Amino acid sequence: MPQLPAEARAARSWGAEGVGLLRTELLFLERPDLPGEDEQLALYQSVAAELPGAPITVRTLDVGGDKHLPAFPLPKEDNPFLGWRGIRIGLSEPETILLPQLRALLRAGAGAPIKIMLPMVSAADEVRQARALLRRAQAELAAAGLPHAAQIELGIMVEVPAAALNAEALAREADFFSVGTNDLTQYTLACDRGNSRVAGLYQPLDPAVLRLIAMACEAAHRHGRHVAVCGELGGNPRATALLIGLGVDELSCAPAAIPHVRAAIRAADSAAAQALAAQALLAAGPDEVQKLLDQLEQA
Ligand code: PEP
Ligand code: MG
């Protein structure tokens, strides 16, 4: 699986301070079997080796919806995006899916600042269950005498509206939040992100999406948790000041976008960013938010 270390190398060459979203699906796709714990460990170590000492946020397997695995055929569902997806699969298949991955991440975490991120979380109980599995994985590794991280951060993606609406309870359970604006937009606006017929409705800058981001940030900060954005919006330098104003602490983007986003962060003034966010939250729709961003660009 050479793509992931190569992407980490590219990220380093563009000046990344870490990896904000390592999608592990690639490791599981296009093969007839599931990758074993040792194979996963080698991959996570090889990614971490590209950015020595830098935090690497690894998302546990996020299949279901439109992503399928040959080695783990999913049942046909009427509404796959509202069905067995992300952490829901991991929690109901701990032995085959989640535990081997948690063990591999804990082992990689012995030598690198790995963070674990859960996809498609909607309820605090899912985080509690995942944390119980993480403790079990730690106990198993200790019993086997295998080096592993004694402490590892366990965070969640905020990508369904319920995660933002339940942010207070989730912030008690999760160590950090990362907003997946791609899915958050799709689920908030009830608009399939891959369906060209409704592409006009798919607007990450819709105030409905922005309000959920603000809500997640407020709850996270009350509990001393950081909030990142790892969806496409995080890589859009036009939106950088707005995201900062909404309370976002960290941005994750494709390697080539790093210099643009970094320049936008440097240019942002925190009081102006907050004023912009306050106006955007009251906007009538995404076009009005776009206009606010245009005005900022021209100022
Ligand atoms: C997101 O939903 O914003 C996200 C980063 O996850 P993915 O695009 O992999 O669904
Ligand atoms: Mg997503």
Which of 90, 125, 158 terminates a domain? The answer is 158
Instruction: Render pLDDT for 152-161 as a digit per residue (tens, 0 to 9).
Output: 999 999 999 9
Q: Does residue 185 lie within any of the structural domains? A: yes
Residue 199, φ and ψ in degrees, nearest 5: -55, -35
Number of domains in the chain: 2
d(CA 183, ligand 1 centre) in Å: 6
The yes-or-no verdict on residue 3 having pLDDT over 90 is: no
- Co-location of 23 and 102 in the same domain: yes
Nearest CA to ligand 1 atom 4: 180
DSSP string, 144-212: TT----SS-EEEEEE-SHHHHHTHHHHHHH-SEEEE-HHHHHHHHTT--TT-GGGGGG--TT-HHHHHH
Residue 70: its pLDDT value, please? 87
Write out the residue range of the structural domain in which residue 226 sits. 171-299
Which of 121, 136, 158 terminates a domain? The answer is 158
Instruction: Render pLDDT for 100-142 as a digit per residue (tens, 0 to 9).
Output: 999 999 999 999 999 999 999 999 999 999 999 999 999 999 9
- Co-location of 287 and 188 in the same domain: yes
d(CA 179, ligand 1 centre) in Å: 9
Q: Ligand 1 pocket: which of 22, 62, 159, 189 to mutate (most atoms <8 Å of CB)?
A: 159
The yes-or-no verdict on residue 2 having pLDDT over 70 is: no
d(CA 159, ligand 2 centre) in Å: 6
Confidence of residue 11 (pLDDT cuts 50, 70, 90): very high
Q: Give bridge partners of residue 69 from the DSSP assignment.
A: 72
- Co-location of 145 and 253 in the same domain: no
Q: Does residue 179 lie within any of the structural domains? A: yes
Instruction: Render pLDDT for 55-109 as a digit per residue (tens, 0 to 9).
Output: 999 999 999 988 888 888 888 999 999 999 999 999 999 999 999 999 999 999 9
Q: Does residue 166 lie within any of the structural domains? A: no
Tell me which residue of 217, 205, 220, 229 sits closest to 288, measured CA to CA.
Answer: 205
DSSP string, the chain: -THHHHHHHHHHHTT-SSEEEEETHHHHSSSSSPPPHHHHHHHHHHHHHHSTT--EEEEPP--BTTB-BTTBPPPP-SSGGGSS-THHHHHH-IIIIIHHHHHHHHHHTTTS-EEEEESS--SHHHHHHHHHHHHHHHHHHHHTT----SS-EEEEEE-SHHHHHTHHHHHHH-SEEEE-HHHHHHHHTT--TT-GGGGGG--TT-HHHHHHHHHHHHHHHHTT-EEEE-SGGGG-GGGHHHHHHHT--EE---GGGHHHHHHHHHH--HHHHHHHHHHHHT-SSHHHHHHHHHHHHH-
Nearest atom of ligand 1 to the alpha carbon of 119: 6
In this structure, what CATH number is given to the domain that contains residue 22? Answer: 3.20.20.60
d(CA 158, ligand 1 centre) in Å: 10
Q: Does residue 163 lie within any of the structural domains? A: no
- Co-location of 39 and 111 in the same domain: yes
- Co-location of 24 and 72 in the same domain: yes
Nearest CA to ligand 1 atom 9: 23
How far is the C-alpha of 34 from the C-alpha of 27, rounded, in Å? Answer: 9
Mean per-residue pLDDT, 232-237: 98
Nearest CA to ligand 1 atom 6: 180
- Co-location of 201 and 102 in the same domain: no
Q: Give bridge partners of residue 118 from the DSSP assignment.
A: 156
Nearest atom of ligand 1 to the alpha carbon of 186: 2
Nearest CA to ligand 1 atom 1: 180
The yes-or-no verdict on residue 298 having pLDDT over 90 is: no
d(CA 107, ligand 2 centre) in Å: 25
How far is the C-alpha of 250 from the C-alpha of 234, rounded, in Å? Answer: 9
To the question of pTM greater than 0.85 for the whole model, the response is: yes
* Ligand 1 neighbours (beta carbon < 6 A): 21, 23, 62, 159, 180-183, 230-231
- Co-location of 154 and 178 in the same domain: no
- Co-location of 137 and 238 in the same domain: no
**Tokens, residue 70:** 């040959």
Mean per-residue pLDDT, 211-228: 98
Rounded to the nearest integer, the mean pLDDT of the chain is: 96
- Co-location of 86 and 202 in the same domain: no
- Co-location of 224 and 193 in the same domain: yes
- Co-location of 279 and 254 in the same domain: yes
Residue 1: its pLDDT value, please? 58
d(CA 120, ligand 2 centre) in Å: 7
Q: Does residue 164 lie within any of the structural domains? A: no
- Co-location of 142 and 269 in the same domain: no
Nearest atom of ligand 1 to the alpha carbon of 65: 10
d(CA 269, ligand 1 centre) in Å: 28
Q: Does residue 221 lie within any of the structural domains? A: yes
Q: Using CA atoms in the order 277, 268, 213, 23, what is the torsion angle rounded to 10 degrees? A: 160
